[in-house]
Amino acid sequence: MSASSEPLFLSGVIEGFYGPPWTPAERRQLWDWMVEAGLNTYFYGPKDDLHQRAIWRVPYDAAGLNEVGDAVRGCRERGLRLIYACSPGLDVGYSDPADLRAMEARLTQLMEAGVTEFCILLDDIPDAMRPEDQARWGSLAAAQADWVNAVYRWSRARTGGRFLVCPTPYCGRMVAARHGGEGYLEVLGRELAPEIEIFWTGPEIISERLDLDPIARLTQVLRRPPLIWDNLFANDYDGRRFFCGPYAGRPLELKRAVRGILLNPNTEFPLNFVPIQSFGAYLRAESGWDARASFLKGLEAWWPQWATVGAPLAFADLVTFADCFYLPYHDGPEADALARDVARCLGAPRPPDDPESLAVRARMLRLKDFCARLVDLTDRGLFHACHRRVWELREELDLIDRWWSHRIDPARAGTPFESDFHRPKTYRGGFVVRLQSFLKPRPDGSMALAPELAHESPPMNLRSESAT
């Protein structure tokens, strides 16, 4: 029996992103997808649910509590476990008895709605404490461990359910930067009750790979295997992209090295079908994991949702389109090949009838046409989920095509290229784009000042005239 089929192995989906929480109808669809994929856990913790984070002390009203109860029933009907997360870390007083009572009151309300398993999220918060907490515990990890243990003991006495925590430094880079303080994980692992699961995202917040050796070392530090919070498909940090590629960069042996794996996926619910299907296939696989094959199989199952009111789209074009929104660190092979071929054809002068250029341009225009025709999707939720990204992709393809046409037209030789549809300030414009021009990322992750700014005049004298 594989580790992923053991009752204690958690596999599922986290609704834990920044952005609009999913609707009750979307959650019901999610749970059905999860059952089909063989997953077992739904984790509720969207950052923008005010009661989950910003006003965690304030009780739910009747409508909010009914929604929680509906989620409990919906999961139970499908044989799924529901874990509810609370995020008190922004302003909790670890030594304040009133805050402990407030958390107990919150959990009591949720228990009355049927929730039995909980998580305390201490992620994405300042790593500073109130003076009274610092004086009592001396370190953030010790304060958090003591407080979480108290909540856990109170909860366990009433429900007996699983209890999870997400630490303040939850990836390798944060630990290396001493976020949370020196020796944070060592203290947490030593002081936290051994039954409490601890989340980990890997070497990065969005990890390209999850390798076994670092997981083994982390297990020793935490004194328990970690529970993976996997942000591979998360897109709340970049509104221009989404990710519908396969579950990749994780060896099959990972399943035997951790307590579970939960995906925190795209904010836009309809775009998560293939990632969930691929993840389920990964969990079922015993050997020879083929991420690309799982992606193509997932696309075939997703294909009926791409029906239009007009002539049907081509499946091959869906593959190319999905490859444009593959994974954070990689484009899919079809999109990667197209980008390379377009760059090669544009980078060297070629005659208008050059066969390779004509073939590459035809592929590019097929993708542009696919993007344009998505407006006819009968699944309007799917169209709206990807509309802004599709529009941007289509406009870039259109601009390249217009430039290409200009360059090979003898009548326009030597004239500047312009597009009536891509005008200054209105296209690729705005304050954010202006700011993006100031710092340029390097391949190693460091940032460099834009060359044009590095050679500007000396810094201004910031002293005001009135101060002289």
Together in a domain, 95 and 232 = yes
* Per-10-residue mean pLDDT, the chain, length 468: 56 94 96 98 92 92 93 97 96 96 96 97 92 96 98 95 97 97 97 98 98 98 98 94 98 97 97 98 96 98 97 97 98 98 90 90 97 97 95 96 90 89 88 90 89 66 40
CA distance 137 to 94: 10
Nearest to 142 by CA among 195, 187, 94, 197: 187
Last residue of a domain, one of 240, 256, 289: 289
Together in a domain, 277 and 328 = no
Domain assignment of residue 444, yes or no = no
Q: Which of 124, 331, 341, 401 is catalytic?
A: 124
CA distance 228 to 206: 12
> Could you tell me the sign of the dihedral formed by the alpha carbons of 205, 262, 259, 251, in that order?
negative
Domain assignment of residue 365, yes or no = yes
Together in a domain, 279 and 334 = no
CA distance 404 to 138: 64
Together in a domain, 351 and 208 = no
- pTM for the structure as a whole: 0.93
The whole-number pLDDT of residue 71 equals 96
Domain assignment of residue 431, yes or no = no
CATH number at residue 320: 1.20.58.240
Together in a domain, 129 and 40 = yes
The whole-number pLDDT of residue 360 equals 95
Q: Strand 81-86 and strand 41-44: pairing?
A: parallel
Together in a domain, 264 and 389 = no
* Count of the separate structural domains present in the chain: 2
Domain assignment of residue 14, yes or no = yes
> Could you tell me the sign of the dihedral formed by the alpha carbons of 365, 370, 375, 381, in that order?
negative
Together in a domain, 357 and 280 = no
Q: Where are the beta strands (DSSP E) in 185-317?
A: 197-200, 227-230, 260-263
CA distance 263 to 244: 13
The whole-number pLDDT of residue 456 equals 56
Helix ranges (H only) for 95-169 are: 97-112, 131-137, 140-156
The whole-number pLDDT of residue 451 equals 87
The whole-number pLDDT of residue 433 equals 87
Domain hosting 327: range is 307-412
Together in a domain, 252 and 378 = no
CATH number at residue 52: 3.20.20.80
Together in a domain, 317 and 204 = no
> Are 325 and 389 a contacting pair, CB within 8 Å?
yes
Active site residue 124: yes
Together in a domain, 211 and 74 = yes
* pLDDT tens figures, 370-401: 999 999 999 999 999 999 999 999 999 999 99
Domain assignment of residue 144, yes or no = yes
Domain assignment of residue 80, yes or no = yes
Last residue of a domain, one of 363, 390, 412: 412
Together in a domain, 17 and 155 = yes
The whole-number pLDDT of residue 385 equals 96
> Are 68 and 84 a contacting pair, CB within 8 Å?
yes
Domain assignment of residue 464, yes or no = no
The whole-number pLDDT of residue 5 equals 39
Together in a domain, 61 and 123 = yes
Last residue of a domain, one of 376, 397, 412: 412
Domain assignment of residue 449, yes or no = no
